[in-house]
Structure 1
Amino acid sequence: MIRCASNFCRTGNLVSQIVRCASSIPPTGKRVKTFEIYRYDPEKPRSQPRLQVSLFFHL
C-alpha cells in the first residue's frame, strides 16, 4: 500500500491509483465471498469454460 501511495504522489491521479491498489490486493478474512463467472462457447464443443470475471465481496 505504501508503494501505491508513493506512486500517487508522482502521478497525481487519485482515483486510478485507488482502483489499481484495491484491485491488485485480494481481500483476506473469513467473511469474504468470491463469485467467479465462467463463459462457455457451445460452438466449440472441445473448448473448456473460461474464467471471465472474479468478484470479491466483503460481508
Structure 2
Amino acid sequence: ILPALTLDGYIALHVVPDSVDSIEFYDFVLNDLPKMNPWPQPCSVLILDNCNTHKS
C-alpha cells in the first residue's frame, strides 16, 4: 500500500498485490504529484523515507 496523506485524508492510494518496485513507485509518483501544489499552498510537501524504491 502506497498512500499519500494530508491532514484532511488521502489524496492518493496505490495498492499492489506484491512488493513495490521502482516501476510501481514511479507510477504512483506520476499519479500523485499532479494532485500536489507549489509551496506554500496546501499539499505542497512530499516526504519520503529511506526505502530503496525512493532511490531508484
TM category, shorter: 0.3 to 0.5
* TM-score when normalising by structure 2: 0.33
**Larger Rg: 1 or 2?**
1
* TM-score when normalising by structure 1: 0.32
More strand by share: 1
